[in-house]
Structure 1
Amino acid sequence: MAFYDETAVMALEMITEFGQPVIIRAATAGEYDPATGTAGPGTVAEQTAQGILLDFTGQEFQNNSLIKQGDKKLKLAAKGLEWAPGLLNKVIVQGRIWSIVPPLKESNPAGTPILYELQVRS
């Protein structure tokens, strides 16, 4: 496992050097109160990750019909994250809010998360 831990550290260092900070935002709706007929205030949790925002290649467009024009590929270093990104989260890159669309890929050899690859849409 030490090898994969070192690989995760190396991925974080490389993405930090060549990438940019990315905010991952998870919003949770408040609980419904039947007495008032409304939902209580929700919560928002944010964490900063290191990521690289890339365009999809022409070959990827040909092989995957789920990619729409304007979609981007976001690679996030897994090391140091409090929680893994999920499909209901939003990401903020360079002040722009992106939704995560399937598939969400995780490089996780031997139970050590190294990299998350997300398809994001604005």
Structure 2
Amino acid sequence: MATFYDEMAATALELITEFGQPVMIRDVQPGDYDPVTGFETPGVERERVAQGILLDFTGQEFATNTLLKSGDKKLKIAAKGLEWMPNLLNTVIIQGETWSLIPPLKEINPAGTPLLYELQVRK
């Protein structure tokens, strides 16, 4: 039997899928130095499609948050089904444009069930 928060996570995914858009999260893990060859081994890149909604920040958010710059956007991503939580080393691709993640990364996680990630993104 699904818990209340599992149902909420499923509802968040359903609504963001309906009203949002696919977002590619790219994670690149750097390679390691190989002392035998003297070269770095290739890094590992993984990508994951998520469902997200890209929003503008409000004027009040600009007035109270000194980390915001003109052109920054708020990205809300449904957490259900994601294999990993987005981190600052990830990039997101939205409609063919690459965005960097800016701290802080917020996780909406009542009772240990991630529902939503709220991210600040910048080109």
Q: TM-score, normalised by structure 1?
A: 0.97
Answer yes or no: is 1:75 the counterpart of 2:76.
yes
Q: Deviations over 1:13-39 (max 9, x none)?
A: 000000000000000111101233321
Unmatched runs of 5 consecutive residues or more in structure 1: none
CA distance in 2, matches of 1:40, 1:112: 36
- Shift in Å at residue 82 of structure 1? 1.1
Cα-Cα RMSD = 1.0
> Which moved further from structure 2: 37-46 or 15-24?
37-46
Q: Deviations over 1:58-96 (max 9, x none)?
A: 100000010011111000000011111111100000000
Moved over 6 A (4+): none
Partner residue, 1:26: 27
Amino acid across the alignment from 1:90: T
Number of residues paired by the alignment?
Answer: 122
CA distance in 2, matches of 1:37, 1:72: 42
Q: TM-score, normalised by structure 2?
A: 0.96
Unmatched runs of 5 consecutive residues or more in structure 2: none
